[in-house]
Amino acid sequence: MSPRESSSTSSPADPEDGGTAAGERERAGQPRRPRRPREEQLRRTAVRLFREHGYDGTSMQDLAEALGMHRGSLYHYIDSKEDLLF
């Protein structure tokens, strides 16, 4: 089988979804993508800071500093601060 044939008959595995192809994941009824450990850490830290300082009293910079990240790096995991409420 040529590389062209093999690439057209199967989809590549996505490392962020645990290595399964999207079709396999959807057929198995699994969630779209499990949360990554860093994303879980971000959400736990946000909850803690929101409890301590309130939502309006917590800036993205506060969150980034608590995680030891750059503020812009947070947007790899979320679209906005509001996303952390859900």
Sign of CA dihedral 37, 55, 32, 70: negative
Residue 32 lies in a domain: no
25-44 pLDDT tens trace: 444 555 556 668 899 999 99
Q: What is the CATH number of the domain that holds 54?
A: 1.10.10.60
35-80 pLDDT tens trace: 688 999 999 999 999 999 999 999 999 999 999 999 999 999 999 9
Predicted TM-score (pTM) of this structure: 0.59
Residue 19 has pLDDT above 50, yes or no: no
Number of domains in the chain: 1
What pLDDT, on the 0 to 100 scale, is given for residue 70?
A: 96
Segments forming the whole domain that contains residue 51? 37-85
What pLDDT, on the 0 to 100 scale, is given for residue 36?
A: 85
- The alpha carbon of residue 3 and the mean position of all alpha carbons in its chain are separated, in whole angstroms, by 32
Residue 66 lies in a domain: yes
Secondary element (H or E) of residue 48:
helix 37-53
